[in-house]
Amino acid sequence: MTTRHAVIDTAMLGPVTIVATDEAVTGVYFRHHIRRPAQELFGPELSFADDPVLGEAAGQLFEYLLGQRRDFDLPMNPSGNDFQRKVWEQVAAIAFGATITYGQIAEQLGDRSTAYLVGQAVGANPLCIFIPCHRVIGANGSLTGYAGGLKRKRALLELEEPATVSAGRLF
3-state percent helix, strand, coil for the chain, nearest multiple of 5: 40, 20, 40
Q: Residues 138, 141, 147, 148: what is their CA dihedral angle, to the nearest 10 degrees?
A: -170
Indicate if 128 belongs to the active site: no
Please, are residues 126 and 28 in contact by the beta-carbon 8 Å criterion?
yes
Alpha-carbon distance 17 to 28, whole Å?
6
Q: Which 8-state DSSP code applies to residue 26?
A: E
Alpha-carbon distance 69 to 28, whole Å?
17
Please, are residues 13 and 155 in contact by the beta-carbon 8 Å criterion?
yes
**Catalytic position from the list 8, 76, 133, 147:** 133
List the catalytic residues.
133
